[in-house]
Structure formats: structure tokens, C-alpha cells
Structure 1
């Protein structure tokens, strides 16, 4: 039987996993040449003892938190890059797995789409991360986000991407950072609110909408 300490640790791991799943993005990668789209969870598993990543993307969904050396990490939280190194490695893994496994002699452009509003600093972080992830295959980065004027509110993301590909025939890869279940983001924001109330000893407001 589990003792009280075991139950607390199990609950801590469970909450940590739920938090990562709520916060993480769903990352889609499109190969314009083949038209194929693939999707991976924006998650990585980091082994603190070995100091390296041991799983990326959907591989992380089997994480149960029982190994204390392993940590489930969401490197992109609600559209914002919070772990640059893990983001770059995740992008690189997806690009070389689904789009291109070799070095290109003719460099391509890459399009990044982020559904959430992103700060100028994070836009630069996205651009730098994908350039590194491409291993020298990208000559420039096109960025499209909720806070950037290239996307019209009257168009869907798919329509915007299609239009961008028509304008730039040299686009070799499209990465979209989205969230299939936005309620996860909402839970994440709400939990931050509750944590802040607890930290500042404030009673959370209860409103009826």
C-alpha cells in the first residue's frame, strides 16, 4: 500500500503532467513538395541525470512520471518559447523526420505560423530556432502570427498558408504552432491565476457570467 508521502509524490507528478499537457502546443509540419502534413505534441522528455533529451513529440505521451530522473517539458507554452534549446531540437527533429533528411544545395524559405499573439522577442526566437533546426537548409524565415498583420481575420489559417505558398514558391517547409484543444490553454491560465492568488494571499474572485 502507498503511504502518505508516496501519494503526495504521485499527485505531484500527475499535476505536473496535466500542466504540461495543458500548456503544450500542437505542432504541425507541412512539406509543400509532397503536400503531406504531420503533427506532434510540443513536448520533450529530459533526463536530468544524463543531461539529454530522451523523447520528443508524441513519444512523450507515454510519460508517467515514475522515473525521478525524467522531466516532461513543454518548451513552447501558449505560443511563447520558454525553452529555446528544446524548441530548436524539437523543430530540428520534426524537420529532418518529415521533410528533409539531407543537406540542400539550394536553400529554401521556411514559413512559421503561430496561432497565439507573440512578442517581437519571441518572433526573433522562433526565427533563430528554425534557422538552426534547418541545419543550413533555410535562407530566410517568413513569420505569420496572431499579432502580425500578414494574417487577415477574414481568412482561416489554412487559407493564409495557401496564399503564402503561392507567393513564395521557394518555401520548403511550413511549421504551425497551434492548439487542438484550446480549453487546455484556458485551464493553464486559470491555474496561474489561482497560484498567484495563493502566493499573494488573495481570495479568488467568483463571477457568474
Structure 2
């Protein structure tokens, strides 16, 4: 109420002010949904950091740690997977810019190209798993050395693969919703943050899990 007994309205307030009781979109300078995504990314980054640290500790504490990855086909396959994932990060960036420019067709096209890249990455990863299983690698045994190699390898790559598959599903849902008008350009941008994070994590997985275990 104002001093005269009337109700305070937005129109009577200075520019940038809000009437009492009007909810803000976020208590911070960024939208609530983007804030939630950033908090998730930070917590997930801590999780991956802890797992990779534990992996490094276990590897250094195991004198007979195996080095099973030959340049061909293992490292070549990893290089291809990395190229696909980095490329998908670029296509997701283009999709976000298109969405911000109100280019719905372009945003959808590049988002679905990103999804296709994620699916291809997942298929190559699963093929790699089956190849290792065919060579005798199990969770707690392998033919080359420390039985913990299989458990740590499948745990790290499996967690990352789960994030990739989750991202593929989320981007598909958001893209279809964006096409129907249920989601906006901001939603494309928010999920692009997740996808870039998944790509960044892979940049740490490759040297620690693969390149430091190349067969000599």
C-alpha cells in the first residue's frame, strides 16, 4: 500500500525496481535453470576429479598395472572418438548461436547433428568395450596384470558414457520441445553447457586412462 492507501504498482516504481511480493527469476544474476545446471556441473566435476584421483592412486600403487592399449586399433579408435566429441561440441555451439539468433531451423539442425555425434561416440565406445571383454577383461580380472584395471577402466569410461547417453537423450527431448514451442533458446543454451562439460571431462579421461597405458 502507498501512503494514500492505494496499491503500489510496477508502473509507479523507478526503472529496474519491483513491487513487494513480486518473485525474482533468480536470487543471482543468472536465470534459475542455468544456475541449477552450473551447480550440477560443479558437483559432477568434483565427482569425476575424485574418481580420476583414485584411479591414479590405484595405478601407482599397483606394480603390475597393465598397458594394454596398442596404437592400432585402440589409440586410433580413441583419437576418432575424441575428434567426434570435440566436433559435437562445436556443432552444439553453432546450435546455441542459431537459437539465440531466432534461427529455429538452424538450431534444430545443428542440435540433431550434435546428437548424431553423441550416438556415434557411444557406439564406438561400446564396440571398444566388447573388444576388451573378448580379450578377457572383466571387472576384477584381466590377462595382462592387476585385476583392478578392469574395474577402474569400466567405472570411469562407463560413468562418462552414461553422461554422453544422458546428454543425447536430453538434447533430443529439448530439441523436439523447442520445435513445438515448449522450450526456448535459453534451454538449448543451458543443455549446451552440459554437453561442453561432458566433452571437457573426456579430455582428462583420454590421457589418464588411455595414453598413460599405451603398450610399449
More strand by share: 1
Higher relative contact order (CA 8 A, sep 6+): 2
Task: Find the structure with the greater CA-based Rg.
Answer: 2
